[in-house]
Amino acid sequence: MTKKGGIVKIVITRHPAFVEYLLDKGIIKEGEYEVIEHASPEKIMKRRVIASGLPLHLACLCERVFTVSINLPLELRGKELTLEDMKKYAGDIQEYIVLRVNREEA
């Protein structure tokens, strides 16, 4: 999807309830986001990305990273969640700017 004259957020997820939750909370709006299931450098480079987990080597490529921590009980891990589950177990959204620091080994 594209947003005329604006920034399109990238949502990385395989779970429809995650997108529903972001819409419900007003974090994303219809027509202003694109959902991808798997992150790759070319898809996220210098973009605003929303995910529940993104490896640091990819997060540092994004303009900004927004994360939602999901504190699931063990019995729900690996299962498809509902919007109600997301509302119950999701934490606050946090925004990060991740920088890669190159260091020489001593």
Q: Which of 30-39, 54-63, 96-105 has the lowest mean pLDDT?
A: 96-105
For the cut 70, the answer to whether the pLDDT of residue 3 exceeds it is no
SS3 state of residue 39: coil
Which has the higher per-residue pLDDT, 106 or 75?
75
Q: What is the pTM of this model?
A: 0.82
Q: What is the CA radius of gyration of the chain?
A: 15
